[in-house]
Amino acid sequence: MGISGYIEIDMFPEEVNRLDDPRVINFKRLLLEMAEEYDCFLITFEINNGTVTFSFDSDELTAEILTILQHDDKG
């Protein structure tokens, strides 16, 4: 298991810029649940003007999320 790259998603409106925003809290909770399922850790989690940046210490989970995101882009 290595440290994977960062994932950056324009997730919320630009005015969402706080970790204590309920939408951000719910998204982080989802990521923590995913990390638990993959037996890994959420290493970083930041919000900046609606853009969420996060990383896990699991290449497998990172690849799974990137696959989902790429599929959604084609949607």
- Whether 26 is in a domain gets the answer yes
- Whether 11 is in a domain gets the answer yes
Structure tokens belonging to residue 9: 């998603």
State the pLDDT at residue 1: 44
State the pLDDT at residue 72: 76
- Whether 67 is in a domain gets the answer yes
- Whether 53 is in a domain gets the answer yes
Per-residue pLDDT 10s for the chain (75 aa) are 444 689 999 999 999 999 999 999 999 999 999 999 999 999 999 999 999 999 999 999 999 999 988 887 665
- Cβ atoms within 10 Å of 29's Cβ, excluding its own: 10
- In terms of residue numbers, what domain contains 59? 7-74
Residue with tokens 């204590």: 20
- Whether 2 is in a domain gets the answer no
Total structural domains within the chain = 1
- Whether 35 is in a domain gets the answer yes
State the pLDDT at residue 75: 55
Are 14 and 50 in contact, with CB atoms under 8 Å apart? yes
- Whether 1 is in a domain gets the answer no
23: CB partners within 8 A, 6+ apart: 12, 16
